[in-house]
Amino acid sequence: MRESAVRQGTGGDKIDTQSPASALPLIDLAREAAEPAARRRFLADLREAAHDVGFFYLTGHGVAENGDVLSVARKFFDLPTQEKRAVDMIRSPHFRGYSRLGAELTRGRPDWREQFDIGAEGERRWRPGDPAWMRLQGPNQWPDALPELRSLLLSWQGAVTAAAVRLLRAFAEALGQAADAFEPLYRSAPNQHIKIIRYPAQDGAGGAHGVGPHKDSGLLTFVLQDDVGGLEVEREDGSWIAAAPLPGSLVVNIGELLEIATNGYLRATVHRVVPPAGRDRLSAAFFLGASHEATTPILDLPPELAARARGAEADPDNPLFRHAGENYLKGRLRSHPDVAGRHYADL
C-alpha cells in the first residue's frame, strides 16, 4: 500500500500529490500492436481508465516533436506585446490567434493565462444564410516575427492527430464496436485545435486559477506539460488529483462528445489548472473533435457495459448538444465574449 500524500489547495480543496505513475492510469499505446491476449488486456485497461477517471498518461504515442513545441511556445510568448497583439484573436471570427491575460473566460471567470490558438488550415467557407457554427471554419493567423511557429505547430498537429485516431479506433473496439465506429465523426474534416499556453508566475496570495474547472467539448484532448505542474483532475467525491508531469508522456482526457456517444460510460472529467506559486508554466493542448457538421451517434453498448453507463451529465449551466458544430460554438462564444461581441452580435 502506498503512503498517502495530500496537500491543501486553494479554497481548502484537498489535492492528492501522489507519484505521477499511480495518480492517474498509465496507458502505453504501443500495446495496441501486441499479440491477441495482451491486446485484449490493453483494451480492457484503456476502457477502465476512461470509465473510472476519464484521464490517463499516454506513452508509446509516437509523437516526437514535444520539446520543440514548448521551445517555440516560449519564443512566441517572449515576443514584444505589439507582435503578439498583431495576431489578436479578436481579429478572427474563427477564434484563432493570440489571447492576452484574462481574455478567455471559464464559467464566467477570467483565466490567468495567455495563449495562442490555431485550427486546421483552411479558407473561410461561411456565407450569409449558413448555420452560425460554419463561421468557426477559416484560416489561422500567424505572427510574422516567428515564421517557424507555423510549420512546427502544423507538424505537431498532424502527429498528435494520428495518435488520436489510433486511440479512437482502440476505444471503439474496447466498447464492443467495429474499429471504425467513430470514423464518421472525423473522416471528412476533423476538428483540430491547438493551444499553446503560458501561465505567468503568481505569488500565491490571491488564489487566482490558471484555468477554472471545466470539461472539454470534443472527442479527446492531449496535453503536453513542462516540468512545473498545476493540472488537476476532479474525483467523484470533489477532491482533486494532481496530474504531475511525467516525462515522455501526454496527458489524455475524454471530451463531452465521447460522453454523449457512450451515454456516460466514458467520462468527460472536470479539470483545472492551478500553477504553483513563483514559476511560469508552459503547456500545449491538442483537441481532436468531430467534423463541425457531424451529429454524435449513441452507441449500442454490450449489456455489461450499458449497465455501467451513467448517462451524459445534465447540467443546466452547460447544455450538451449532439451536433458537433453547435457544441463547439457554444463553448467558443462563452469563452471569448470579446470575439463573440464583434463577430457574432447577431446571435
Residue 301 grid cell: 453498448
Judge whether residue 6 has pLDDT over 70. no
Work out the pLDDT band at 288, boundaries 50, 70, 90: very high
Q: What is the mean pLDDT of residues 161-174?
A: 96
The whole-number pLDDT of residue 8 equals: 41
Q: What is the mean pLDDT of residues 54-76?
A: 90
Work out the pLDDT band at 3, boundaries 50, 70, 90: very low
The whole-number pLDDT of residue 60 equals: 94
Least confident of 6-15, 70-79, 169-178: 6-15
Judge whether residue 313 has pLDDT over 90. no
Percent of the chain as helix, strand, coil, to the nearest 5: 35, 20, 45
Give buried/exposed letters for 163-173 (b at 16+ CB in 10 A, else e): bbbbbbbbbbb
What is the homologous superfamily of the domain 6-343 according to CATH? B-lactam Antibiotic, Isopenicillin N Synthase; Chain (2.60.120.330)
Least confident of 219-223, 237-241, 302-306: 237-241
What are the tens digits of pLDDT across the range 46-57?
Answer: 999 999 999 999
Query: Could you give the 3-state DSSP secondary structure of residue 327?
Result: helix
Do the beta carbons of residue 219 and residue 257 sit within 8 Å? yes
The whole-number pLDDT of residue 204 equals: 61
Query: Domain coordinates of the chain in residue numbers?
Result: 6-343
Distance in angstroms (rounded) separating the CA atoms of residues 103 and 69 = 23
Look up the pTM and report it: 0.90
Tell which wins on pLDDT, 202 or 70: 70
* Calculated CA dihedral for residues 66, 70, 76, 79, nearest 10 degrees: -150
The closest alpha carbon to 337, from 84, 109, 97, belongs to 109
Q: Is 330 exposed, middle or buried (0-12, 13-18, 19+ CB in 10 A)?
A: middle
What percent of the chain clears pLDDT 70, i.e. is strictly above it?
Answer: 90
